[in-house]
Amino acid sequence: MPYVNIKLTREQEPLTTEQKAALIKGVTELLVDVIDRGPTTTVVIIDEIDTDNYGVGGETITVRRNQKQ
Amino acid sequence: MPYVNIKLTREQEPLTTEQKAALIKGVTELLVDVIDRGPTTTVVIIDEIDTDNYGVGGETITVRRNQKQ
Amino acid sequence: MPYVNIKLTREQEPLTTEQKAALIKGVTELLVDVIDRGPTTTVVIIDEIDTDNYGVGGETITVRRNQKQ
Amino acid sequence: MPYVNIKLTREQEPLTTEQKAALIKGVTELLVDVIDRGPTTTVVIIDEIDTDNYGVGGETITVRRNQKQ
Amino acid sequence: MPYVNIKLTREQEPLTTEQKAALIKGVTELLVDVIDRGPTTTVVIIDEIDTDNYGVGGETITVRRNQKQ
Amino acid sequence: MPYVNIKLTREQEPLTTEQKAALIKGVTELLVDVIDRGPTTTVVIIDEIDTDNYGVGGETITVRRNQKQ
């Protein structure tokens, strides 16, 4: 019954329903494979965060993206 | 001064303002009742999560809802 | 299938097993009562935080406790 | 490589991009100043919460705001 | 640069260092495979929770384990 | 009344009480300075995480530290 929270940026091309389902399935299977925790009540929550609200290294992702271009 | 975070799915019929207020009031009172923690600075945050972003048992809630129908 | 996280300070007289069970039961029932969410997969996690690591109003709880005495 | 999550209410006059960048820069610098943790991989995430979903002292911020007026 | 938090119970036979490393590696690779997010700054944090502090379905994991025996 | 959660590794030389107090004071003041949010009910929680439980770039911090030596 682990709980997993994934936070990542909401990009211009947002995550598809299939990608979200694949992340949820993949994490749940990983927990079964590595530590044999029963998957039926494993909860996975994906938070999509605006790039203005997500910072790495003291800068927002918005700024980091613009610098790369 | 406990901090409580409630995460639940955003359904087609979303939570009403009254339901949110009742959850916040109820959790705060529960903490007073059970462990006598002063309620004035208790913080409660409710996160409503898209059913595509919330998984249980390796499947998104969207998929689980569709299977039940 | 809501997820609830309760964070509160670990006091000199720590929470008893009964108090923790009562919080978990109480929150789960509250969610059924207020929003009728099925309780079987509701997850509740209680984090007990050292008073040095918990701040309110810019001060640690340790300091606030000492000032009250 | 600390991780920082800031949750605050989304007000009628929402946070500007500049304010978010200043929060992310400020927290990252604070961690360098106080505990000398290398800033390059520090992650800061800001969650803006609806005032109906944020409670203090058993009441939503929406209600508290209205009472002050 | 996603952030992932895994919360699971601390069992009598606790997670080994190898299992934790495998979870961290596995989640990071999953995010690369499914959504092609660059792995260098992906942060994964594993929280091990006492079974008295972790509830599912209104009961602590401690109680649920005892009922199964 | 923002809520701030800081997660960082528990090092061999752990954070001092003074450093924790400085982080809590500093974050609270930053929120006042940048966005003028009243500090009295701001909550800050510091989680110290074992280096085996904290991963960046697919490796635990324990492993990354050993590689640097």
Q: Residue C41: pLDDT above 80? A: yes
* Cβ <8 Å between F20 and C52: yes
Name which of E24, E41, E46 is nearest F59 (Cβ-Cβ). E24
- Torsions phi, psi of B7, nearest 5? -115, 125
> How far F41 CA sits from the closest chain B CA (Å)?
6
Task: Give B 35-54 residues with CB within 8 A of chain F.
Answer: 41, 43, 45
What's the CATH superfamily of D3-68? Macrophage Migration Inhibitory Factor (3.30.429.10)
Name which of E15, E26, E34 is nearest A19 (Cβ-Cβ). E34
List beta partners, residue E4: A6, E44
List beta partners, residue A49: A9
- Counting Cβ atoms within 10 Å, is residue A69 exposed (0-12), middle (13-18) or buried (19+)? exposed
Name which of F8, F34, F56 is nearest D26 (Cβ-Cβ). F34
**Chains A and D are touching, with contact defined as 3 or more CB–CB pairs separated by less than 8 Å:** yes
pLDDT digits (tens, 9 = 90+) for F7-61: 999 988 899 999 999 999 999 999 999 999 878 889 999 999 999 999 999 999 9
Look at residue B69 in the predicted model and tell me its pLDDT: 67
Domain boundaries, chain E: 3-68
Of the candidates F34, F37, F31, the residue with the CA atom closest to the CA atom of residue D19 = F34
**Nearest chain F residue to C56, by CA:** F43
pLDDT digits (tens, 9 = 90+) for B45-60: 999 999 999 999 999 9
Active site residue D39: no
- Torsions phi, psi of F51, nearest 5? -65, -20
Would you call A10 an interface residue with chain B, using a CB distance cutoff of 8 Å? no
D43/E37 Cα distance (integer angstroms): 15
pLDDT digits (tens, 9 = 90+) for D3-44: 999 999 998 889 999 999 999 999 999 999 999 987 888 999
E27/A6 Cα distance (integer angstroms): 10
> Which positions in chain F touch B41 (Cβ < 8 Å)?
41, 43
ipTM score: 0.95
The per-residue b/e assignment along D16-41, b for 16 or more CB within 10 angstroms, e otherwise, is eeeebbbbbbbbbebbeebbebebeb
**Chains D and C are touching, with contact defined as 3 or more CB–CB pairs separated by less than 8 Å:** no
Per-residue tokens: C35: 């929003």
Per-residue tokens: F5: 């959660």
Amino acid at F37: R
Q: Residue E33: pLDDT above 80? A: yes
DSSP E53: G
Would you call F28 an interface residue with chain D, using a CB distance cutoff of 8 Å? no
Of the candidates E11, E26, A17, D48, the residue with the CA atom closest to the CA atom of residue B55 = A17
- Torsions phi, psi of D58, nearest 5? 90, 0
Provide the 3-class DSSP secondary structure of residue A8: strand
Is there a contact between F48 and C53 (Cβ–Cβ < 8 Å)?
yes
> How far D62 CA sits from the closest chain A CA (Å)?
23
